Amino acid sequence: KVQYLLKEDIKEYIEMQKVITEVKVVKNIAISKGLQTKIYRREDLAKIADTLLFFNDIELSFVIAKTANNITSISGRSIGKKSIANILSRIGGGGDKMGGAAQFENLPISKVSEKLNQAIKEEE
């Protein structure tokens, strides 16, 4: 029964893996971006951010992707050494120490990525 409950759609899983393969790691922070032309579910961004924390030396993870035609979202996760809320609150998002999110209207992934990178630098 547990196996049945944990099943996922294989096409969705493959799409999530594609986002993971685009990861860039700087120091102990993993940042991955979805395709500009694809709309992702917010829960998938959260799953991907969670998955990125499984890898060695990754303490923070962020996933940036479009979640609607004019909305770009960030999902962030932490193992607890640094606060996701402190970083995302700098750019209008929120959350707590372990996880959080932010949304931006009419901004492409590249611009949202720049905002996130600046907030990370400010937090250091």
Each residue's pLDDT tens digit, 52-109: 999 999 999 999 999 999 999 999 999 988 999 999 999 999 999 999 999 999 999 9
Q: What is the pTM of this model?
A: 0.90
The whole-number pLDDT of residue 7 equals 74
Q: Please, which pLDDT band fits residue 115 given cuts at 50, 70 and 90?
A: very high
Burial class (CB in 10 A: 0-12, 13-18, 19+), 59: middle
| Residue 12, pLDDT score | 84
Residue 5 has pLDDT above 70, yes or no: no
φ, ψ (nearest 5 deg) of residue 31: -125, 125
- The span from the CA of 14 to the CA of 5, in Å, is 19
| DSSP annotation of 90 | T
Of 49, 58, 42, whose CA–CA distance to 20 is shortest? 49
| Residues 25/60, Cβ–Cβ less than 8 Å | no
**Confidence at residue 11, expressed as pLDDT on a 0 to 100 scale:** 86
Query: pLDDT (tens digit, 9 = 90+) per residue, 10-42?
Result: 888 888 889 999 899 999 999 999 998 899 999
Q: Phi and psi for 36 in degrees, rounded to 5?
A: -65, -25
